Amino acid sequence: MATQTPSLSTNAIEASQAASPTRQILTQTRFELLLTLRRGENILVTLIIPVMLLIFFASLNVIPTSSGSAVDFLLPGILAIAIMAAGMVNLGIATAYERNYGVLKRLGSSPLSRSSLIIAKIISILLLEIIQVVLLVGVAVGLYHWSLAGSPALILLALALGTITFAAGGLAMAGALRAELTLAGANALFLIFILLGGGILPLDHLPAPLAALAQLLPAAALTQALQAAMSKTATFPTFPLIVLVVWAILILFIAIRTFKWE
């Protein structure tokens, strides 16, 4: 269960009262990062678990890949899982309990707008994901001699779209559902997306109807976009990116429209 630190939330409210919209977003982003670092469970979910999954499956070498090493197949999928953990699970559950404890209600009485709060939270997740990427890539290079291939620009584009999609999804649940429902829903979706995301089990190992459905979900789209962008050929992942863009726009719109302070 994620909780909010009262002193930090009070400081955030006071700091936003006389600031411009841009400064309000930057100030709130700073407090979001401080709060994230104070939650031990956040560090476990967002940093430790993805690294453990990468090491576990890469070391066992049981991943059914047609060519290349296991880490080449696994790393894009684990990066996608890390993004889901940071945005949908970590951010969604933490924000839901902030709303439950009345912290968001206090923020709502400040000049900070609903859209500014959502933007600040997404920016904080983007910054957290930089640490995730560095850590996972460092493990892949140090333990499995992985080397970067593909297009860095496409990789960054896929990571950014995935972050917006899953962070907005977490915020949409947190702003519309009770904290307990957000907790259950975020964890349930996380498990479903791991199973149907194609990051650990390739989609062609699933029944054909299920694989076709999975390709329309944001988890598989993010994984496929990263796999294409990180391959040696670096083919442009047109369909996965289109799916991600549609999901990002749709979920972000829903989050902004339905997000409630209390």
pLDDT tens for 191-219 read: 999 999 988 888 888 899 999 999 999 99
Where do the structural domains in the chain lie, given as residue ranges? 6-258
What is the pLDDT at residue 258?
81
Residues 86-114: tens digit of each pLDDT: 889 888 888 888 888 887 777 766 777 77
* Residue 35 in tokens: 């709060």
In the chain, pLDDT over 70 holds for what percent of residues?
86
Helices 114-144 and 21-37, axial angle in degrees (round to 10): 50
135 DSSP 8-state letter:
H
CA 10 to chain CA mean position, Å = 26
Cβ–Cβ < 8 Å for 39, 3:
yes
The set of residues, in sequence order, having a beta carbon less than 8 Å from that of 113 and lying 6+ positions away, is 21
261 DSSP 8-state letter:
-
Cβ–Cβ < 8 Å for 193, 217:
yes
Helices 70-84 and 114-144, axial angle in degrees (round to 10): 160
The set of residues, in sequence order, having a beta carbon less than 8 Å from that of 79 and lying 6+ positions away, is 50, 132, 133, 136, 159, 226
What is the rounded (10 degree) CA torsion for 136, 138, 139, 143? 150
What is the pLDDT at residue 192?
93
What is the pLDDT at residue 81?
93
Rounded CA separation 149/146 (Å): 9
What is the pLDDT at residue 123?
86
Q: Among candidates 90, 15, 62, 65, which has minimal Cα distance to 205?
A: 65
- Mean pLDDT over all residues of the chain? 83
Rounded CA separation 72/67 (Å): 9
* Residue 14 in tokens: 């006071």
**Residues in the chain, pLDDT under 50:** 1-7, 15-18
